[in-house]
Amino acid sequence: MSMAEQAALLLDRLQRRRPLVHCITNYVTANDCANILLAIGASPIMADDPEETEEIAAAASALVLNMGTPSRRKLEAMIRAGRRANEKGIPVILDPVGAGASRLRREMAESLIRKVRVDILRGNVSEVSFAAGLASREKGVDVSEADRGIDRTEAALAAARRLGCTVAVTGEVDVVTDGRRTARIRGGSSMMARVTGTGCMTSALAGAFAGAGAERGDAFPAAVAALASMGIAGETAFEKAGHLGCGSFHIALLDAVGGLNEKSIRERAEIEEG
Ligand SMILES: Nc1ncnc2c1ncn2[C@@H]1O[C@H](COP(=O)(O)OP(=O)(O)OP(=O)(O)O)[C@@H](O)[C@H]1O
Ligand SMILES: Cc1ncsc1CCO
Ligand SMILES: [Mg+2]
């Protein structure tokens, strides 16, 4: 079965099952992540107090840990949720936002990688390079100029080997690998880099697809399906609203994700295997 066909079937399963996706995320893009999950057909819950994250994670189909606005308290909330998810076989997605940008973020990324078994790591090339242990010169949450030259495939493979999980590096062309299989996903629009949170939304969608899977261990096709969905939606949004500007494009992106179905994935996904 082709990767596009697999992604189409996963979307169909997601829309029938409506997986509950627990997000411990940042305050910049939390609302967009909740809305994109609703748009694709999943059910979001944002919960980040250490007092409740174990309980919420235990009831969810997937857990998304996003380091965008970190704190020691949030780290504790993430470790509690992550350990519970691991015990219950619930897939965990890590978005190491700005992982190399400060001491707190570096410690947080290292601590999460050490204490929680991650199924999908999703980030831009700077973030994934840092998580892979490669030199990264991150200054903020966007790809740094110094990191633009790093090869996305090499960064993804290095991180996949270090973490033993599926890694998705986004950018103009997205790369997904589990160290054994590799896929490249085209599509999207350069406008996506001009709206904050499209990466966070992609990670949230990876949670929805991983949570829709029949069983744990389906992380690679879930990550591919999430990136293909964002790619198609980004193109549609650009056609509809690219000429209007970033604000309209942002809203059109949510609309486009809401319009995705099995058929659009099968017909429009641009996935290259190997
Ligand atoms: N130049 C581009 N052309 C096409 N698609 C792009 C481009 N840049 C980013 N994208 C798409 O935008 C989405 C987010 O990727 P990006 O690498 O910008 O994440 P990010 O840096 O983590 O974003 P953020 O931190 O703002 O959430 C992905 O679906 C990716 O494919
Ligand atoms: C801009 C920004 N700052 C912290 S998180 C975030 C959203 C994109 O990652
Ligand atoms: Mg990001």
Would you state the pLDDT for residue 262?
Answer: 97
Q: How far is the CA of 230 from the centre of ligand 1 (A)?
A: 9
Whether the CB-CB separation of 203 and 169 falls below 8 Å is answered with no
Does ipTM surpass 0.90 in this model?
Answer: yes
Closest residue to atom 22 of ligand 1, CA basis: 199
Residue 274 belongs to a domain: no
Q: Which residues form the domain of 212?
A: 3-269
Query: Which residue, chain included where needed, has tokens 């995705």?
Result: 260
Residue 126 belongs to a domain: yes
CATH number at residue 185: 3.40.1190.20
Would you state the pLDDT for residue 226?
Answer: 98
Would you state the pLDDT for residue 2?
Answer: 94
Would you state the pLDDT for residue 90?
Answer: 96
Residue 226 belongs to a domain: yes
Would you state the pLDDT for residue 209?
Answer: 98
Residue 104 belongs to a domain: yes
Residues sharing a CB contact under 8 Å with residue 81, sequence separation 6 or more, in sequence order: 22, 24, 53, 54, 56, 57, 63, 65
101 lines ligand 1 (CB under 6 A): no
Single-letter amino acid, residue 148:
R
Q: How far is the CA of 1 from the centre of ligand 2 (A)?
A: 37
Count how many domains the chain has. 1
| Residues within 5 Å of ion ligand 3, judged at the Cβ atom | 97, 199
Whether the CB-CB separation of 116 and 80 falls below 8 Å is answered with no
Q: Which ligand is in closest contact with the Cα of 206?
A: 1
* Nearest ligand 2 atom, CA 200: 9
Whether the CB-CB separation of 67 and 23 falls below 8 Å is answered with no
- The reply to whether the predicted model has a pTM over 0.90 is yes
Mean pLDDT of successive 10-residue stretches along the chain, which has 274 residues: 95 97 98 98 98 98 98 98 97 96 95 97 96 80 82 95 97 97 97 98 98 78 98 98 98 98 97 93
Single-letter amino acid, residue 76:
E
